[in-house]
Amino acid sequence: MARWILFLVGIGLLESATAPVLATEKQPPNILFIFSDDLAFQAISAYGEKRQLLQTPNMDRLAREGIRFDRCLVTNSICGPSRATILTGKYSHMNGFYNNNNSKFDSTQPTFAKTLQQSGYSTAVVGKWHLVSDPVGFDHWQILPGQGVYYNPPMVRNGEKIKESGYTTDIITDRSIEWLQNRDKTKPFLLMAQHKAPHREWSPAIRHLGWDMDRVYPEPETLFDDFNGRSRAVADHDMGLEKTFTELDAKLTTPTGMTPEQLTQWNAFYAPRNEAFRKAAPTGKDLVRWRYNRYMHDYLGCVKAVDESVGRLLEYLDQEGLAENTIVVCSSDQGFYLGEHGWFDKRWIFEESLRTPMLIRWPGNTKPGTVNKDLVSLLDVAETFLDVAGLPVPKEMQGRSLVPLLRGERPSSWRDSFYYHYYEFPAPHRVRPHYGVVTDRFKLVHYYNSDIDEWELLDREKDPLEVKNFYKDPAYAQTVKQLHAELERLRKEVKEPETTPPEAYGKAPENATKKAAVPK
């Protein structure tokens, strides 16, 4: 009877007032979703990045006590669209949020948060939202306006503008724990603790300035990638350490919003190092190397605070006896470049931005220390959370529940290919719109807009660095044919329209007449 009432609530035939059913059976699992912005898997030590950039003991704990997904892919590698996909379980062309320039989230559509709330969960989101419209489906919300700032951030709490003091990552953690302490403890909870860090301009906590003792970081093999033999779309970008790195990125100028005390400590660290840089006046590759090392200090310093946040949240669950009945998911809106191909940022279908970290701990269900290499996605989060709660999944959702994989069971029908589509162009970073099919080994990519119409085939087995285009290689003719067919099949499966609406690209009227269609 209880499960049936939950079903009726989930599909909207009963109001949430009927939710006392939760007391008649074992309480469904709590859900803690820890989400970062631009967190690269290369920065998490559990992923075994050979550069060994940073130790992240608390995120590593989740991998040790749960499961590490090695091929968690995104549908559209950019902040807002990924967040919309997580909430709705739908691709950008289905949920209507394509880009960060002019998209606005339609909060009338079904989301897993709304369904959980209607079904008796206490729900909250704290931190970065970045979907323009206000959160819906949450009993409590405290969010950063827009991108937010790192120090002493303005925030919006349930519609009221407020001002916080301190470092944003710490504040998000504090407010998340406060909500857990004060929530309705007769109900299961959904908490989405969503960090700004380590988003550009990568400003560390004051306590982490100098954390790496001026380490010289090992360089990625492709730091000076020349894009020889690649599509013009790949070479003609504006997101590299060589030409796109600003003085604010490099901390040669000071972020706004700091208190006098914070500013004094900031200047004590950066000022002498900046003076030494100006005196040396490096150029060419030496300048790129300096920027890379400054970038790593700052970016990884931000990740240190995120890892500390994960530790504090896990410790709270332990102290309150909540860990055993809480599924914890730690992830990011997409991957990020840490100097690979000479880049920072994301957007591309290439591995560093397509692939996002995903660590999940679910006691009693997931075998500790599991490593999974199946093609999974942020698209699957909504379906997974509803499945975990024992609720039906709306038919319009396009992902798949990860619950079987979490329990060590791989369905025979699990996906072997995945569809990707990036839209935002030309600003910022001039990354051409492109879509493609991804398999365990290959990526077939179509770059398109008003001035380009080119294809690439990437072979991760023969070229794991993704610096070669095999599309016109006769030895791959059959592979290309098969992948074209699979790409067309996937576009139909996900209901991708033959023509992409011009507003999908943001402020780019030259795209209005270009069709994003697969050639027959």
pLDDT at 374 over 80: yes
pLDDT in tens, 20-71: 333 335 789 999 999 999 999 999 999 999 999 999 999 999 999 999 999 9
pLDDT in tens, 105-148: 999 999 999 999 999 999 999 999 999 999 999 999 999 999 99
Secondary structure (H, E, C), 302-370: HHHHHHHHHHHHHHHHHHCCCHHHEEEEEEECCCCCCCHHHECCCCCCCHHHHECCEEEECCCCCCCCE
Q: Which of 196-200, 213-217, 497-501, 512-516 has the lowest mean pLDDT?
A: 512-516
The domains of the chain are located at 418-511
**Distance separating alpha carbons of residues 291 and 19, to the nearest angstrom:** 55
- What are the C-alpha distances in Å from 39 to residues 78, 118, 197? 12, 31, 8
**In this structure, are residues 195 and 33 in contact, taking their beta carbons and an 8 Å threshold?**
no
pLDDT at 83 over 90: yes
**Distance separating alpha carbons of residues 10 and 72, to the nearest angstrom:** 27
Q: What angle do CA 249, 255, 261 make, to 5 degrees?
A: 135
Question: What is the C-alpha R_g of the chain?
Answer: 23
**3-state secondary structure (DSSP) of residue 194:** strand
**In this structure, are residues 152 and 206 in contact, taking their beta carbons and an 8 Å threshold?**
no
DSSP letter for each residue of 232-270: HHHHS-S-BTTTT--TTTTTSSPPSS--HHHHHHHHHHH
Kind of pairing between the strands at 376-377 and 72-73: parallel
Q: Could you tell me what percentage of the chain is helix, strand and coil, using 3-state DSSP and rounding each to the nearest 5?
A: 35, 15, 50
Nearest to 386 by CA among 2, 1, 5, 11: 11
Residues belonging to the chain: 520
pLDDT at 336 over 90: yes
Nearest to 151 by CA among 26, 261, 27: 261
Q: Sheet holding 434-439: strands in order across?
A: 417-422, 434-439, 442-449, 452-459
Q: Phi and psi dihedrals of 22, rounded to 5?
A: -60, -25
Number of H helices, E strands in the chain: 13, 16
**Distance separating alpha carbons of residues 39 and 91, to the nearest angstrom:** 21
pLDDT in tens, 375-422: 999 999 999 999 999 999 999 999 999 999 999 999 999 999 999 999
**Distance separating alpha carbons of residues 3 and 276, to the nearest angstrom:** 66
pLDDT in tens, 139-184: 999 999 999 999 999 999 999 999 999 999 999 999 999 999 999 9
- What are the C-alpha distances in Å from 88 to residues 75, 93, 415? 13, 12, 19
Residue 225, token pair as written in the block: 């990638």
Nearest to 18 by CA among 111, 114, 118: 118
What is 418-511's CATH topology? Arylsulfatase, C-terminal domain (3.30.1120)
Top-confidence residue, 508 or 188: 188
